[in-house]
Structure formats: C-alpha cells, structure tokens
Amino acid sequence: MVENRPLLNVITHLILIVGVLIVAFPVYIAVIAATHGPLALSSGAMPMLPGGELINNIVSVVTVERRGVAPFWLMTWNSLLMAVIITVGKIAISIISAYAIVYFRFPGRQLVFWLIFITLMLPVEVRIIPTFKVVADLGMLNSYAGLTIPLIASATATFLFRQFFMTVPDELMEAARVDGAGPIKFFRDILLPLSRTNIAALSVILFIYGWIQYLWPMLVTTDPKYYTLMMGVKRMAASNGDGEPQWNLIMAAVVLAMLPPVLIVIFMQRLFVKGLVETEK
Amino acid sequence: MVRLSLAALALALTSSTAFAQTEVTWWHAMGGELGEKLEEIVATYNDSQTEYHVTPVYKGSYTETMTAAIAAFRAGEQPDIVQVFEVGTGTMMAAKGAVYPVYKLMADMGEAFDPSGFLPAVVGYYTDTDGNMLSMPFNSSTPILYYNKDVFAKAGLDPEVAPKTWEELEAFSKKIMETGAAPCGFTSGWISWAQLENFSAWHNLQIGTKENGFGGLDTELTFNGPLQAKHWGNLKTWQDSGLFQYGGPGGGADAPAKFYTQECAIYMNSSASRAGVIQNSADFEVGYGMLPYYEGTEGAPQNSIIGGATLWVLQGHDEAEYKGVADFFTYLSSAEVQADWHQFSGYLPITKAAYELGQSQGYYEANPGSDVAIKQITLNAPTANSKGLRFGNYTQIRDVIDQEFQALLAGDKTAQEALDTVVTRGNEMLREFEATNK
Amino acid sequence: METKRTTFPNSPLPYILVAPQLIITLIFFIWPAGQAVKSSFEREDPFGLSTTFVGLLHYSRLFADPDYLAAIGRTAVFALAVTIISMGLALILAACVNRLIRSGTAYSTMLLWPYAVSPVVAGILWWFIFNSSTGILPYVLSYFGVDWNHQLNGNQAMILIIIAASWKQISYNFLFFLAGLQSVPQSLSEAAAIDSAGPWKRFWTIVFPLLSPTTFFLMIVNLNYTMFDTFGIVDATTAGGPNQATNTLVYKVYSDGYIGLNIGSSSAQSVVLMLFVIGLTIIQFRYVERRVQY
C-alpha cells in the first residue's frame, strides 16, 4: 500500500464485503433452500436461515430414482468420467503436438499450426447440427467416446505447452543429444518432468471445463445411462407440468452438482489461477 | 467399421440380457402418473408372453421426444415406436421413407386389424386421403373445463353448474373475485390448443384453408377472424384485471398449480389432466364442464377436436421386431387395456369397444364428469372446420402462437395484430414445408 | 514461426505426434464446419431423406427476416450489458483487493469460485431466485411496487439473463484485472503519490491506462463468452422467451436447428456466427502479436 488512509481502508473492505455477498447470494439461497422441506419454499417469503432437512433432501436426491433421468450416482460418475477423460485427453494430445511443433522442423508444420489454431474459431455451439451428424455417422451417440473425443482437440492447451517449451533452455536438448538421447527419451525424461506444474495447472482448468459441459452431452445422449449431472439437474428443474417443482430437492441437487469444481477452485487456488492466466495469454 | 463393431456389440449386449426375446423400444412422453400407468400396461404385456419384450423409455416433453426420435433416425438409432403428439402428424406423414404406416405394418405382419372399430373422431385425424390409418391412436384427449366446487359455493354460486358460455364464465369469475372466494377466476393450459384451435372448432370457425389442411399442403392459416380476435382481446383484458392468469407457453407449466392451490377457480386443460387433477385436489371438490362458447355464435357449440398423441412405427428394423410391434399394438388397442387406460387417465376411449365396456361397467355413472370429453367431441357431426387440423411444421407454428400471445399479454400488440402475425409467420412456415416436401 | 535453434532430425515422428490432434480437428471441427457451409445452401427435410440445392436462399431470407435482425440487436445488447457490468464490477473489486496486503487472498478466494459454476446451474439458481411465484426477489420487489414476471415481460427476462451471465463472469474478469494490477510497478504509483495525487486520480490517470491491454483482452473474451457460452443460462432460465425476448443468436441456431428442425436456416446462421468468431479471433490474434513485439 502506498500510504495509510483509514477511511479509504474502511471503504475498501466495505466494497469487498458487499462484492463477496453479491457473489455468494445465489448460492447461499440455494444452500438454504436445500435445507428445508418443500412447504417452506412454496412462496417468495422463504426462510433465510437453514432448516433441518438437508440430510433428508440429499438422501432423496441421491437415492430416489426419477423418471427420465439416470440414478444420481451414475450421473455423477458420468460427469466425473467425462471431465477426467477430457482433461487427460486434451493434455496428452496437446503436449505431444506442441512438442512436435517446437522441436521438429518438418514440412507442413505451418499448416498444422494453423489447422490447430482454427479450432479456436469454431466453438461447438456454432456447429451443433453437423458435428452431431458426424458423431452419429461414426456410431458414437450414447457413448463415452462421443461425449468426450469431439471436445478433446484444443488450441489453447497446445499453445500453452508451445510457449512453455520455447522457454526451456536449448542447452538441455543439446546435452541430451550429446548423451545420445533420442526425441522420445528427451521428451519423457526431461521435458515431461519440467512440465509438471503446467500440467497440474491445466488439469484444474480442464477438469472444470469438462465438468460443466451441458449442450454437448445433451445433444449426443438419448440414453439415460450416459446422462451427466448438468443434464440431470436441468431435467429435474424442468417440471413436467403437473404440480410445483420440488425446489428443495432441485436445490440440493444443484448444490451437489457444483460442489466438486468449486472445491477444486478453493483448495487449488494457486494452480487454478496459474492455469487460467496461462491458457488465456 | 467403428459403427459396425459398435452395432455388433450393442446387439450382443441386448441379446444376452434379453434371453433371446425380441426387444422392442418405445419412446414416450408420459411423465408423472400417466407414465407410471403406461409402464404398468407395458409390464402386463411383457408378463403375458415370452416372445417379445417392450421397453418403454421416457424422453421428456412431446417436443423433446419427437426431436430426439428424428435425430436418432438420422443417426440410424431410432426406436421401433415413438409417441408423437398430434401437431407432429403433418411432419410424420410427409416423411414417407421414415415411417412404417400402421395399416401396412399390420397387414404385412398378418395381424388382425379392424380400423372401423376405432372412434371416427379419433381415427379421422390420423388417416391419409385414401382412408388408411398411418399411426396407432393411443392417447387422445380434448380440452375440457374443470372447476373448484368449494370456491363456487363460497362465492354463492351453484356448485353443480359449470359456466356454459364465456359470458357466464366472466360473470362467475367476477363474483368469485369480488366475494374473495379465490383471487383469480380462471387459468388455462395449452393456449394454442385450447384457446385458439379448439376455440375455433368449437365455434365452427375455419382454422386453415383446404379443410384445415387435410386437403393438401397448399393450405393457409385463417384463424385470425373477428371472433378469435375478440376472444384473445378478452383474455388480455381479463389477464390485466386478474380474472385470468396466464400459465406459460406450450402446455402451460404454471397453470395446474394455480388450480391445485385454489388460486384460480376454473381451469381449462386436457381431459387427460383428470388423473392429475384428482390426485392434487384432495382439499376441494372438482366439477367438470364443456368448453365455454360465446353466446349467440351461429353453430356454437359445434364439437371440439382432439389432441394427444399416436404411436408411429419407424423404418429400419428387422421383421422380428415389427412382428413384436404388431402384436403389442393388438394388445394395446384391446378393449380391456383401452378402457383401463381411458378410465385411469381421462384420455378418450379410442375404440368403440372400450367405450361400450366402460358403459357396461357403469363407469360413467359412477364417475361424473368422466364422459364430458367424449360428449364434447361427438356433440355434433364434425364439419370441415371441426374435424381436426393437419399442418406441416406445426410444432414451430405452435411456438409462434405462444410468442404472439405473449406479445399480446405484454401489451406490445393488439389481439388482431397478434393473430395476423401468427397467420403471416405461420403461412411462411407452411410454404417452407410445402417446398421441402413436394 | 519460431522454433528451437536446434531441432531433432527429420523423421516420421513429428507427424505421429501431431496426428491425434489433427485427426480430431479434421473430423470434429473442419469437416462439420464444411458440412454447415454445405447445408446452408440446401433445403433438407427433418428426417434427412431428401435435399435440394437452393443457393443463397437461406441467407437472403435470414437477413430479410425481422426476427433474425432483432436477434442480432438483442444479442448485441446482451453482450454489451454483460461485458460492461461484469468487467466494471470486477475492476472495482480487483482494485480493492490490490490495495490490501494481508486479507487480499481471502477475498480473492471468495470471489473466484463462481468460475467453477456451470452456466446451466447458474441459470437454474437465478431462475429459482426470480421465479415469479416462488422466488425471493420478486417477493422483495413487490414491496417496492415492482411486479416481476419475466415469463411475460421481455425486458425483465433480458435483465434476468444479464444478471445471471454477469454474475458468472465476474470471477474471471476479477482474476485478470487483479493480475494486471499487480504487474503495475509500485514505483509509478508512489511517484504520483508524492505529487500528492489522490488515489482516485492516480487510478484513472496512471493505473487504468496501463491496464488497457488487459481491458482489451477481456472485452474480446467477454464478447465471446456472452455470444457462445451463455447457452446453458438461456436454456435454464427463459428458453429464449417470452416472445423471443431472450432468443440470442446462439440459442436461435439451436432452437431453429435442433428443435425446429429447419436445418438449412440453422446452418446458415451457424456460418454467419463462424464468420463473426473468425473476425473476433483475428482481431485478438493481431493484438496479441503486437503485444508480443512490444
């Protein structure tokens, strides 16, 4: 701090507290709603303090089978699997292609670089129908492959590794070559261990990315066996016309669905910040 | 290659779990109590024989079910049977290479099948110009009027008399609100279906040219006449004064709750809402009536038209599965199953035998109001205006109706302007459909 | 494009290494994009049984369609509002945290986590809070004479998705503003303080101009976010209604193509959006290049 101004300090804290409250407000409401019975939430005058139904609601969400969605544990498993496959897949294919681009001078390198770059320009949202068709033609609807592989290509991760490899001293590689190490050995024994922090930071970001996917799983799965949590929660929320939505249960499900990535951000904040800042640079 | 091996794998998996039974999948849109009943009906079928196994899969709303089935068809993963709501009929009929017409299926599979046993008001909707039945009627309904007898009594109205006309309905609603018996007069599910299409048929007004689209693809919408405009204008006025409460687009997701919580005293919705109404009205007594009409309208009340859904069979499966489908359809349309389904759900009995069975069981006398729907659709011999409607792209046109109704309620447009826009935008979609399917 | 001074000798290896990435890109990005361009010139029935070439029909219809033009304007309003609100709030919060030494990290943690909330979940949360019959905010608002019903009132529906989308994006903007602020040399600020410039003036005349690369970068990212990543929010709160008041360009691609089954028109809309993203990416890339040369 440049100088000490007590009034300014008070205002700073005040602004931040208000900011934190605004940011936390919707989730606070969700958590409170998840702790009450259905009757407490039937009008806008909902209680502002937690009730005692949290366990019951969670048990009901987790154990009761609902028409049109998969069991909760299965959807959680699907979300987890999807997030992990996407994370591992993206990192794996990005790191090897970045390695090829940086450490080899092969014909067509420029073209490869641009082809990868193009993926930045085509978010899944703008090519929904034809991508769906491709996945369908390959027989990948309702499969983990269909859920994950089309999302695995990533320009940002490739660029991140490329940037990082450029900062690795050339001497390392020269020394390795003198020792007679081939490209695969160099990659495995030297580059990979050096990239550990980058990989960890990227994993955090990519796991969140995979976990919160919604549109794509919604398109490629028609079999409840492959539904993810995001879809399941949305389907629970869309009441089918008869009776009021069961807000206490929906909110309990919402809280459960957002818990894993939120916890990751909170407990792995340093890696998260590094990952986010570096991928977007 | 990938596809082939996956298909082989899927085949291996299903055949090993089903113990060589032929597997028939049925995608449907029945949630809640109706879905449970449907599964019970299927389970009874599965237990009754060993050759076939029908798997019902709930796919969400009607729109979701239909789009999922079409997407799956494009991907070669379509179910054997899909339940498609009546407004999708135009689209399904035009998709000649995709559907296996029911009359043909039954004939090809050597299954006894008599179309004349079905109620004409129902089957007429689903037959082609040569009189062939293209899909299997399953759940057909028509909008009727439900009212809260307790609130009526509290307001000093005769709880045994339902409003017959819109004038009465308005007067009743005012009285209910003035006496504080309930804060709202009425609400309605399915604005498009109940307050425009059925409204037109009930007043013997044309919905579209070429016999409401039955006569050809070059049809045009015409439901922007003065009486429809007057009615929509009234709904807007009533919404502003709180006499009417809008329940949302499509089926009107908020409408049932408004009636169940006794906020609105009168409620118009599908006769198939009866199961839900009975289950959710433990605190009050429900009365039933026909849809209201405007006094002094020539030809009103005429007859209402059906909604609901039929079962379409999709191409691309092998003969064993189609044999199973045919066998299952025979079971589904048997008098016992139909009467059971109809009496439980409030859907219309689709065969004469099912209706007669209900009569001989004394069901209609024991359950007042359960025959309102049948009486309403058979009130008069259908005219060209009231035998139904058949338009392509009609799911999208339904969306347009909802959008323009919302524009009306928001005060952006007058009733006439809103209806005129529906007709203009709808006709563009009809032309597009005509061009795609000529 | 630069490489290492020394590289490994040529062999098939690099091709093998880039193959997985390339194959996926070709199959799931380039090919479908080409298909989208192709079907935007065709008319196809929903079941995919017949297609006819119709030239530019879908495009000419699109740009003559008042609904589509309205969707463009609506998306612009949405994107600008979310960008301004979420960046503005994030900047204020980042500036505050930057002043603090000890408690800064704690505040950061509490401001960062909404990044991990899925857009569709954010949509459900705000939908619950603003639900016209059971939500808490309409209940509170009714005491101020505001009749909240976003199912009927298009402006309120727009406000709802703007709030939900901005809320979700604050953390991201906050993080980048904070990183930007922390890289501003303290000496500059101190020098200005000696010239007795107040903190407010110092911020606007010295710090904020230095943040302009971050600000520009965030603007592009936020525009991209509101254009594409907000699908889940719209789907869970308003589904584009009422009367299309929140039907953004991306939601329209989905609803016309996947729900409405009008594949030709939906593809044409996809192509328009692709051109837009390509433009945005080129701007971003040129800017990044310039900054690198700096």
Count CB neighbours of B230 within 10 A.
14
Of chain B residues 94-133, which have a CB less than 8 A from chain C?
Answer: 94-98
d(CA A66, CA C195): 68
Kindly tell me if the per-residue pLDDT of B53 is higher than 50. yes
**Chain B CB contacts of A141 below 8 Å:** 72, 75, 77
**Structural tokens at position C202:** 């110092």
Using a pLDDT cut of 70, give the percent of chain C over it: 94
**Across the interface, do A241 and B31 touch by the CB < 8 Å criterion?**
yes
d(CA A246, CA A256): 16
- Residue A43: the pLDDT is 64
Cα angle C281-C282-C285, degrees, rounded to a multiple of 5: 85
Q: Are A249 and A61 in contact (CB under 8 A)?
A: yes
Indicate the range of A169-173, B11-15, B278-282 predicted with least confidence. Answer: B11-15
> For C29, which DSSP code?
I
Kindly tell me if the per-residue pLDDT of B18 is higher than 70. no
**Across the interface, do A133 and B6 touch by the CB < 8 Å criterion?**
no
Indicate the range of A137-141, A184-188, C18-22 predicted with least confidence. Answer: A137-141
**Chain A CB contacts of C17 below 8 Å:** 96-97, 99-100, 104
**Across the interface, do A19 and C89 touch by the CB < 8 Å criterion?**
yes
Count CB neighbours of B319 within 10 A.
10
**Across the interface, do C28 and A131 touch by the CB < 8 Å criterion?**
yes
Q: How confident is the model at residue C63 (pLDDT cuts 50, 70, 90)?
A: very high
All chains having 3 or more CB pairs closer than 8 angstroms to chain A: B, C
- C184 touching A (Cβ < 8 Å): no
- B410 touching C (Cβ < 8 Å): yes
Q: How confident is the model at residue A136 (pLDDT cuts 50, 70, 90)?
A: confident
Q: Are B268 and B146 in contact (CB under 8 A)?
A: yes
What's the domain range around A229?
73-239
Kindly tell me if the per-residue pLDDT of B10 is higher than 50. no
- Closest partner residue to B254 (CB to CB) among C43, C49, C133 is C133
Place of tokens 């796919």: B59
In this predicted model, what pLDDT tens digit does every residue of B184-226 receive, in sequence order? 999 999 999 999 999 999 999 999 999 899 888 899 999 999 9
**Residue B145: left (phi > 0), alpha (psi -120 to 50), or beta?**
beta
- Residue C198: the pLDDT is 77
Write out the residues of chain C at the interface with chain B, using a CB-CB cutoff of 8 A. 43-50, 133, 151-154, 241-244, 258-262
**Structural tokens at position C208:** 């904020």
> For B398, which DSSP code?
H
User: How does the average pLDDT of chain C come out, rounded?
Assistant: 86
Phi/psi of residue C197, nearest 5 degrees: -80, 135
Of C64, C62, C38, C34, which Cα lies nearest the Cα of C51?
C38
Q: How confident is the model at residue C151 (pLDDT cuts 50, 70, 90)?
A: confident
Using a pLDDT cut of 70, give the percent of chain A over it: 92
Which of the residues B64, B259, B393, B436 would you substitute to probe the C interface, choosing the one with the greatest number of C C-beta atoms within 10 Å? B436
Nearest CA in chain A to B273: A242
Kindly tell me if the per-residue pLDDT of B91 is higher than 90. no
Q: Are B190 and B256 in contact (CB under 8 A)?
A: no
* CA distance to A60, A137, B190, C101, C185, per residue, from A119 (Å): 42, 21, 43, 40, 36
- Closest partner residue to B409 (CB to CB) among C47, C50, C152 is C152
- B436 touching C (Cβ < 8 Å): yes
d(CA C182, CA C293): 22
**Across the interface, do A222 and B59 touch by the CB < 8 Å criterion?**
yes
Nearest CA in chain C to A233: C121
Nearest Cα of chain B lies from the Cα of A132 at a distance, in angstroms, of: 9
Nearest CA in chain B to C132: B254
d(CA B186, CA B194): 13
- Closest partner residue to B35 (CB to CB) among A67, A224, A244 is A67
Across the B:C interface, residue pairs with CB atoms under 8 Å apart total 64
In this predicted model, what pLDDT tens digit does every residue of B241-290 receive, in sequence order? 999 999 888 888 788 888 988 889 999 999 988 878 887 888 899 999 99
Q: How confident is the model at residue C255 (pLDDT cuts 50, 70, 90)?
A: confident
**Across the interface, do C13 and A45 touch by the CB < 8 Å criterion?**
no
Of chain B residues 368-387, which have a CB less than 8 A from chain A?
Answer: none
Nearest Cα of chain B lies from the Cα of A65 at a distance, in angstroms, of: 13
Q: Are A229 and A78 in contact (CB under 8 A)?
A: yes
**Across the interface, do C235 and A112 touch by the CB < 8 Å criterion?**
no
Amino acid type, B105: L
d(CA A101, CA A107): 11
Nearest CA in chain C to B400: C243
Q: Is residue A38 part of a domain?
A: no
Please report, for the domain that includes residue A101, its CATH number: 1.10.3720.10
- Closest partner residue to B63 (CB to CB) among C48, C259, C262 is C259
Query: Taking the model in full, what pTM does it have?
Result: 0.84
Q: How confident is the model at residue C290 (pLDDT cuts 50, 70, 90)?
A: low
DSSP state letters, B336-358? HHHHHHHHHH-PPP-BHHHHHHH
d(CA B141, CA B79): 24
d(CA C167, CA C108): 15
d(CA B357, CA B352): 8
Q: Are B243 and B280 in contact (CB under 8 A)?
A: no
Kindly tell me if the per-residue pLDDT of B396 is higher than 50. yes
- Given 3.30.465.10, 3.40.50.720, 3.40.190.10, 3.40.50.300, which CATH number is that of B2-141+307-360? 3.40.190.10
**Structural tokens at position C37:** 């361009």
Of chain C residues 139-168, which have a CB less than 8 A from chain A?
Answer: 139-140, 142, 167
**Average pLDDT rounded to a whole number, residues A132-151:** 87
Nearest CA in chain B to C261: B67
Q: Is residue A179 part of a domain?
A: yes
**Across the interface, do A129 and C134 touch by the CB < 8 Å criterion?**
no
Which of the residues A242, A244, A247 would you substitute to probe the B interface, choosing the one with the greatest number of B C-beta atoms within 10 Å? A242
What radius of gyration, in Å, describes the C-alpha atoms of chain B?
Answer: 22
Q: Are C74 and C246 in contact (CB under 8 A)?
A: yes
Residue C143, burial from CB neighbour count under 10 angstroms (0-12, 13-18, 19+): exposed
**Chain C CB contacts of A276 below 8 Å:** 115, 172, 175
Kindly tell me if the per-residue pLDDT of A249 is higher than 80. yes
Place of tokens 């390509």: C278
- B55 touching C (Cβ < 8 Å): no
d(CA B191, CA B405): 8
Of A181, A197, A180, A198, which Cα lies nearest the Cα of A189?
A181
How many Å from the N-terminal Cα to the C-terminal Cα in chain C? Answer: 17
Kindly tell me if the per-residue pLDDT of B112 is higher than 70. yes
Using a pLDDT cut of 70, give the percent of chain B over it: 96
- Residue B16: the pLDDT is 44
Q: How confident is the model at residue B75 (pLDDT cuts 50, 70, 90)?
A: confident
**Chain C CB contacts of B71 below 8 Å:** 258
**Structural tokens at position B363:** 């069901």
Domains B2-141+307-360 and B143-304+383-437 share a fold: yes
**Chain C CB contacts of A109 below 8 Å:** 1, 14
- Closest partner residue to C48 (CB to CB) among B74, B96, B396 is B74
Q: Are C257 and C267 in contact (CB under 8 A)?
A: yes
The four Cα atoms B299, B301, B303, B305 give a dihedral, to 10 degrees, of: 110
- Residue A242: the pLDDT is 45
**Across the interface, do B76 and A136 touch by the CB < 8 Å criterion?**
yes
Q: Are B347 and B377 in contact (CB under 8 A)?
A: no
Count CB neighbours of C53 within 10 A.
9
Q: Where are the domains of chain C?
A: 57-293
Nearest CA in chain B to A242: B256
Q: How confident is the model at residue C262 (pLDDT cuts 50, 70, 90)?
A: confident
**Chain A CB contacts of B2 below 8 Å:** 138-140
CATH node for C57-293: 1.10.3720.10
**Average pLDDT rounded to a whole number, residues A222-243:** 75
The topology (CATH level 3) of B143-304+383-437 is: D-Maltodextrin-Binding Protein; domain 2 (3.40.190)
Kindly tell me if the per-residue pLDDT of B164 is higher than 60. yes
d(CA B169, CA A168): 81
DSSP state letters, C166-215? HHHHHHHHHHHHHHHHHTS-HHHHHHHHHTT--HHHHIIIIIHHHTHHHH
Kindly tell me if the per-residue pLDDT of A100 is higher than 60. yes
Q: How confident is the model at residue A67 (pLDDT cuts 50, 70, 90)?
A: low
Question: How many structural domains does chain A have?
Answer: 1
The four Cα atoms C105, C110, C116, C117 give a dihedral, to 10 degrees, of: -170
The four Cα atoms B267, B270, B275, B277 give a dihedral, to 10 degrees, of: -10
Indicate the range of A146-155, B222-231, B304-313, C179-188 predicted with least confidence. Answer: C179-188
Write out the residues of chain A at the interface with chain B, using a CB-CB cutoff of 8 A. 67-68, 132-133, 136-143, 219, 222, 224, 235, 238-244
Place of tokens 């859907």: B347
Nearest Cα of chain A lies from the Cα of B29 at a distance, in angstroms, of: 9
- B13 touching C (Cβ < 8 Å): no
**Across the interface, do A241 and B260 touch by the CB < 8 Å criterion?**
no
Kindly tell me if the per-residue pLDDT of C217 is higher than 80. yes
Q: How confident is the model at residue B122 (pLDDT cuts 50, 70, 90)?
A: confident
* CA distance to C15, C95, C169, C184, per residue, from C203 (Å): 51, 9, 23, 11
